[in-house]
Amino acid sequence: MSNMITFDRTIRFIVGLAVIFLAGWLIYTYANLIAYILIALILTYILDPIVSRIQAAGMNRTLAISLTLASVILVLVWISTSVFPIIVNQMMDLAKQLNIDNLQIIAGKIETRLSHSIPFLPEGYLEKNLVQITQDLFDIGRLPSALSNVIGVFTNIFAAFLVIPFATFFFLKDGSKIRRQFLRLVPNNYFESTLSLIDKIETRLGIYFRSVMLQSFLVAIFSWLNLSIAGLNNSLSVGIAAGVANAIPYFGPVMGYVLSILVSIVETGDFTLVTACILAILVVQIMDNVIFQPLIFARSADMHPLAILFIILIGAETAGILGMLLAIPIATIIKITIGQINWCLNNYYVFKTQT
């Protein structure tokens, strides 16, 4: 009988469990190294079209990769020596100012202001919930120490600068060879399905990461410019935060509004800059929805808006801001994998036991 438990199936099951546990142990033990490899893969997805175009123009691929990576490294060195210190100083100042006590004061001021136009608003409701939501989402109490830890990491990034460019170079140069080596481990019955799955995932993730990077960059630049015109002193750090947050569908733009309002009240002590900051972010969001998204973001997420909403909520519940940022790429991989398996079951029957 094909459904009977056999010695061969038992061994395969045990080996499968062992592989899963081994993979989990490796991920836990070498989390930093795996993070470097993942960053290198993301850079590969982003830079591969540039390298391919330079190669198509007649340049040797190895030279094209070297030229592209050298340009990226030079830009990063310039940012780290010229722009990054300014951003860090602004963010450290904001982290000190956006503490629980200040948030309670700000929430109280906003509630007093709103109570005239919303008389049915319960007393203390906004103060309690705004502080709680902000604390849960951003972990305000630990923000200064978290930023210090991040700065500490970036001041000791020898390993990252050694591993990430090296891995990115070989992913760009020998990506097809690495893929073939991996596919040699796949049984013949699953070869074509696995090849198609890898191709679909790489194509979709490449589109997603390039689209999100360009969109976030444009939103950050225009948020910075608009907030500077509005008169916000910390416009650069708020603009960058708004650009990064904008990578989160639905909730990202709201974070941009909330952060700009909070910072404007912290800076002035009143509501004089609130309207100007709201208008500044509103103009950026109109540009994003009318220009940026239709041009660069339309193909990056092939999912229903309601599904995206619940995926983002699950990511937020699981890992906060980081979970919200990673939710769509992970869901994309799962969606493509399930679709490919379903297609194979209906067409190839490769996953069914042969009788």
Residue ranges of domains in the chain? 7-82+155-174, 186-355
pLDDT of residue 244: 86
pLDDT of residue 221: 93
Tokens of 229: 């015109």
Task: Supply the pTM of this predicted model.
Answer: 0.67
Contact 236, 87 (CB under 8 A): yes
Could you state, in chain order, the average pLDDT of each consecutive group of 10 residues for the chain (355 residues)? Answer: 59 74 73 77 86 89 91 83 73 67 69 65 60 55 45 50 82 82 76 80 81 88 92 86 84 83 81 89 88 66 71 78 78 81 67 48
Contact 238, 232 (CB under 8 A): yes
Contact 301, 212 (CB under 8 A): no
pLDDT of residue 134: 59
pLDDT of residue 42: 84
pLDDT of residue 122: 62
- Coil, strand or helix at 123: coil
Amino acid identity of residue 281, one-letter, is I
Q: What share of the chain is helix, strand, coil (3-state, %, to 5)?
A: 85, 0, 15
pLDDT of residue 123: 63
Amino acid identity of residue 232, one-letter, is L
Strand residue runs (E) in 129-178: none
Residues 266, 272: Cα–Cα separation, whole Å: 11
Q: What is the DSSP letter of 140?
A: G
pLDDT of residue 349: 53
pLDDT of residue 276: 92
Estimate to the nearest angstrom the gap between the alpha carbon of 157 and the chain centroid: 20
pLDDT of residue 280: 92
